[in-house]
Structure 1
Amino acid sequence: MATAKQNFYKWHRVLGLTALVPVIFWTISGLSHPFMANWFRPDIAKEVFKPLSQQNMKPQLSLKQVLDTNHITQFVNFGLVNFDHQSYYQILGTDSVFQYYSANTGRLLKNGDQAYAVYLARYFTQDSVSAIKSLTLQKTFDGQYQPINHLLPVWKVSFNRPDGMDIYVETGQSRMATFNNNTRKAFLWLFEQFHTWDFLAAIGGDQFRLIVLLCIVGIMFLSLLSGITIYGLFWKKFKTATKNRRAANRKDTRFVHRFHRQIGLIVSFVMLTFIVSGAFHLLVKLHNQGSMEKIYNQVINSKDISVSNLELPVPDSLTVKTGLIKYFGITYYQISTSKKDVLYINAINGKELTDGDKLYATYLSQYYREMSDVKNHKAKLTVTPIRQFDNEYGFINKRLPVQKISYPGNENWYIETTTSQLAAKVSGIDRAEGLSFIFLHKYFGMTWAGKNVRDIVSMLAALGVLVVSLFGFAAFLKNK
């Protein structure tokens, strides 16, 4: 029995030493996260772009007139934007490139998308003075523009300023995806290399990275389990040794070992929450590897537009955004109003589609679910407009407003109808993983106390794990 206990103790040391460097990496990078996401997050003058109403844009030409003037017979969508005191039709071609045509003359604005991206970046920063260092169309995610930002493609507008400010804008929706200064870029690099270990993906791909991280998390769990077991097996021995030392008034020469045991017992639950939520997160990511995200495409024919976009039965003073969608082969104007309604007007006869946004959202959700019989699908669905983030559909998803389509089996699909994009799918294991991660890993259960308190608590938890690991390493060195 004594030999078995000693072997157990030996394996705890081996496991602990194996996990030591990863634990240091994860806890230190975890400690940096509140600084990056909250305390050292750069300020931005404007976070949301407020477009002019169609009444204030005062377009002289209709969309159809501009299309005919420029011999455009097919395109994907359009918008009406105003910048530099001019109004333009923003037309997305079948080549996925935005072109800008004057709403008064119909003439093409050269490099219009770049000009609008710079205009938006200056609007968000309220910086009309600094020179633009570079302008890049970003079609993929990278270390500074990570998948958490969701939106692609975006323009990366880099200002020539001491703080190195970069603004990422999605011109099609006139919105900002994210922004970084030099400090935030440094934190992002630290987090990417030491928390998510993206350098492993560069070596062997993302699946290799996930498997390696899962193996390390498994070793951490075994180290935790063996440590708790050792305390249970030896606690009488530890208690007797402490009692005898105090009775003999001897110097405590094994205080490092004692602190490692005591603090380890205190933070063991915290370690367990980090390990379980982290492992669950990695397993779900590994499970979802290789699943291709379906993309919705539409092509609008100019001949399908009979009703002028300037003569729709919605007051220009309420119209903030107009686009086009195809719903079961019929083309509709999609009108976003200042009252946050989305209306659908038939482009041929001018009639409104009742409950159009709910119908279109359901249509898209069934498209993304790859259902073959969309029209005759008889499942009882609930469609709910979502205008603010919550625990299930959090800020991480970026897109608002969206429609939530709830299917039987507690399966929810979130659709941004103005872009025809799937914003999020939440069901089964994905929901459980999301909740475990935000509550057990990011401590969202402390949100009631405020973001600062939540960040401090999470930092103390990470710091506790780091201290235990360092005391364990010090105890190992002391035994040599």
Structure 2
Amino acid sequence: MALSQKRLLAWHRWIGLSLALITCAFAVSGLSRTLTKVVHPPQGVHGPREVMTVADGQTALISTQQAIQAAGMADQPLAALRLRSLHGIPHYQIIGAAPARGPAAPAMGDLGINPNVAWVNASSGELLTDGDRQVALAIASRELRQPVIVGQRLDAFDYEYVFIQRLLPVWRIAEADNPSMRITVSTVAGDISSRHPPLAQVDRSLFSLLHKFFFIKNRELREGFAILLCLGILLLGLSALWLSWRVWRRGALLTIRPAARRAHLWLGLLFGGFAVIGAASGILHTVMVYVAERPPRPNPAQALGLPPNLSPPAQLHAAGDVVELDLRQLDGIWLWRQRNIQHQVRWFAADSDAGGDTSEAATAEISGAEERAAILLGERVWGSAVQLQGLQTTFDNDYPFINRFLPVWRARPVNAPGTTLYLSTDLGNLTRKLDPWDRFQARSFSWLHSWKWLPEFIRVPLLLLTSTGIIIMTLSGLWLWRPRWMRRP
């Protein structure tokens, strides 16, 4: 039996009444997010920016084995060993290899969260007490240029530091004179992972509570609830478009009374389609995120093992613009990966027999090592051969800002040509896996939910207008449903 207009109108009203608050919550969250991005444009994670000075390079540095012994980590495999500058003094950052979560093999590139990070003074060999906290404070002080205080270390996401930030663990730090201005710092990445000015804190709380329903602790229940609500909004928007079109065909869209009903119909005609698109995209996004959960990427994916006794040659960081030396092993050969402030990377041989020798033979530059490192990383996280596609230095629809890290190498598995791996040789880990379904979800979200196909000067006002229109449309619908005692006699 065909659905009559009267019955469709009744369904539309009841669905609208039951989902009115949720629809407003979605719209308020979208409004807040758009405004926050305009006022505080998001920034990526770029890595350490404190330069190793020439004076640091002239200092006699302890060997890697001495640093590992000082850290008390000689009996465990390592995930990474790096040399960075802290307050003008070179320090080793030593990260223990974290065990996989559970008895099964780890997810691609995910070795869990490892709290075992030590910092050792590379000149004196002294273990830095509470080193990770001190390094986080130094990074925050340099970026904020203000006295700062450490709040807490985060090993899990919360209402303010939401899952889209990707990095764990991090330190939450506030300005000493303005505690409402907070940031989070990743000492593994050597950079600020997110900024939380007061407006952004409000936005993330709204996003967590009104958009993602994080007050529901059970993940399966939360995702199912979100899908059910999006389905309801989808039906609500479709029925609104149909009913408004029927009224328009009768020529009554300009004359129907009362004025609140007329305004409601016009808003439904103008913004119902956007509600449909947003709800459909929300369903697709929720399902895809649930099926292919993206874990945090805190540690390098490639375990370093136990390196031999190596001494970083002095001239490797004597150029005046080097921010990091990272010990790596490629094809059984120990190398130093040097990165400067302009993010230019060079690789040098690390000769265990050199014992700190600074001759040309002991510090030979290795060409093609960065590409080889990306290939080996891709093979490790995928489990089979990969082909390198190139270096990506900007975000796009397939690799949006939510992935945080740049630059990344794109690689394609030989046995899965439709899949793209995004690999950060800086972090030593996978930042994104994009199979055909992931690509479909990412592009549909960018096009349908964020409208990235529009120029920003059109997209931002349109997003603000749409969110505001949906709020007014919902409130006008509630007004039409007001009880009799609120109406004029």
The structure-2 alpha-carbon separation of the partners of 1:333 and 1:144, relative to structure 1 and needing over 3 Å to count, comes to same
Q: Secondary structure at the match of 1:161?
A: coil
Aligned to 1:424: 432
2:117 maps to which of 81, 93, 98? 98
Residue 322 (structure 1) shift = 1.0
Give me the whole-angstrom Cα distance separating, in 2, the residues matched to 1:125 and 1:103: 26
Structure-to-structure mapping, 1:60-75, within 5 angstroms: 60-64=60-64, 66-67=66-67, 70=70, 73=74, 75=78
Q: Secondary structure at the match of 1:127?
A: coil
Residue 310 (structure 1) shift = 1.1
Residue 49 (structure 1) shift = 5.1
Q: Is 1:365 matched up with 2:378?
A: yes
Give me the whole-angstrom Cα distance separating, in 2, the residues matched to 1:338 and 1:291: 29
1:332 maps to which of 325, 330, 335? 335
2:189 maps to which of 173, 180, 183? 173
Structure-to-structure mapping, 1:135-154, within 5 angstroms: 135-154=151-170
Aligned to 1:213: 226
Aligned to 1:157: 173
Whether the 8 Å CA contact 1:62–1:310 is kept in 2: the answer is no
The structure-2 alpha-carbon separation of the partners of 1:43 and 1:288, relative to structure 1 and needing over 3 Å to count, comes to closer
Q: Deviations over 1:137-176 (max 9, x none)?
A: 2221111111111112122223333352222112233211
1:456 maps to which of 446, 456, 461? 461
TM-score, normalised to structure 2, is 0.81
Residue 466 (structure 1) shift = 1.9
Quick one: which amino acid aligns to residue 258 of structure 1?
R
The structure-2 alpha-carbon separation of the partners of 1:426 and 1:474, relative to structure 1 and needing over 3 Å to count, comes to same
Q: Deviations over 1:329-366 (max 9, x none)?
A: 44332222456333333434756544222222122122
The structure-2 alpha-carbon separation of the partners of 1:42 and 1:15, relative to structure 1 and needing over 3 Å to count, comes to closer
Residue 384 (structure 1) shift = 0.9
Q: Secondary structure at the match of 2:455?
A: helix
The structure-2 alpha-carbon separation of the partners of 1:383 and 1:357, relative to structure 1 and needing over 3 Å to count, comes to farther
2:423 maps to which of 390, 406, 415? 415
Aligned to 1:31: 31
Whether the 8 Å CA contact 2:412–2:419 is kept in 1: the answer is yes
Give me the whole-angstrom Cα distance separating, in 2, the residues matched to 1:425 and 1:89: 31
1:309 maps to which of 309, 312, 315? 312
Residue 25 (structure 1) shift = 0.9
Structure-to-structure mapping, 1:28-67, within 5 angstroms: 28-39=28-39, 41=40, 50-53=49-52, 55-58=54-57, 59-64=59-64, 66-67=66-67
Aligned to 2:145: 126
Gaps of 5+ in 1: 246-251, 372-376
Q: Deviations over 1:72-108 (max 9, x none)?
A: 6454322223333433222224575232222222222
Q: Deviations over 1:40-86 (max 9, x none)?
A: x3999x99752213634233124346338737645432222333343
Whether the 8 Å CA contact 2:378–2:411 is kept in 1: the answer is yes
Aligned to 1:288: 292
Give me the whole-angstrom Cα distance separating, in 2, the residues matched to 1:478 and 1:261: 20
Whether the 8 Å CA contact 1:344–1:356 is kept in 2: the answer is yes
Quick one: which amino acid aligns to residue 80 of structure 2?
N
The structure-2 alpha-carbon separation of the partners of 1:125 and 1:43, relative to structure 1 and needing over 3 Å to count, comes to farther
Whether the 8 Å CA contact 2:300–2:427 is kept in 1: the answer is no
Residue 394 (structure 1) shift = 2.2
Whether the 8 Å CA contact 1:67–1:302 is kept in 2: the answer is no
Aligned to 1:342: 345
Cα RMSD (Å): 3.4
Structure of larger gyration radius: 1
1:191 maps to which of 207, 213, 218? 207
Aligned to 2:274: 270
Q: Secondary structure at the match of 1:446?
A: coil
Whether the 8 Å CA contact 2:237–2:273 is kept in 1: the answer is no
Whether the 8 Å CA contact 1:42–1:184 is kept in 2: the answer is no
Give me the whole-angstrom Cα distance separating, in 1, the residues matched to 2:42 and 2:214: 27
Whether the 8 Å CA contact 2:253–2:266 is kept in 1: the answer is no
The structure-2 alpha-carbon separation of the partners of 1:76 and 1:63, relative to structure 1 and needing over 3 Å to count, comes to farther
Q: Is 1:116 matched up with 2:116?
A: no
Aligned to 1:404: 410
2:391 maps to which of 373, 380, 385? 385
Give me the whole-angstrom Cα distance separating, in 1, the residues matched to 2:286 and 2:85: 44
2:480 maps to which of 433, 451, 475? 475
Aligned to 1:248: none
- Of 255-264 and 454-463, deviating more is 255-264
TM-score, normalised to structure 1, is 0.83
The structure-2 alpha-carbon separation of the partners of 1:94 and 1:4, relative to structure 1 and needing over 3 Å to count, comes to closer
The structure-2 alpha-carbon separation of the partners of 1:319 and 1:227, relative to structure 1 and needing over 3 Å to count, comes to closer
The structure-2 alpha-carbon separation of the partners of 1:273 and 1:3, relative to structure 1 and needing over 3 Å to count, comes to closer
Whether the 8 Å CA contact 2:66–2:125 is kept in 1: the answer is yes
- Of 25-34 and 253-262, deviating more is 253-262
Quick one: which amino acid aligns to residue 382 of structure 1?
L
Gaps of 5+ in 2: 99-113, 353-361
Give me the whole-angstrom Cα distance separating, in 2, the residues matched to 1:370 and 1:399: 23
The structure-2 alpha-carbon separation of the partners of 1:302 and 1:234, relative to structure 1 and needing over 3 Å to count, comes to closer
Between 1 and 2, higher relative CO (CA 8 Å, sep ≥ 6) is seen in 2
Q: In proportion to residue count, which structure has more helix?
A: 1
Aligned to 1:12: 12
Give me the whole-angstrom Cα distance separating, in 2, the residues matched to 1:259 and 1:121: 50
Quick one: which amino acid aligns to residue 35 of structure 1?
L
Whether the 8 Å CA contact 2:349–2:365 is kept in 1: the answer is yes
The structure-2 alpha-carbon separation of the partners of 1:460 and 1:42, relative to structure 1 and needing over 3 Å to count, comes to closer
Give me the whole-angstrom Cα distance separating, in 1, the residues matched to 2:396 and 2:442: 12
Q: Secondary structure at the match of 1:143?
A: coil
Whether the 8 Å CA contact 2:277–2:448 is kept in 1: the answer is yes
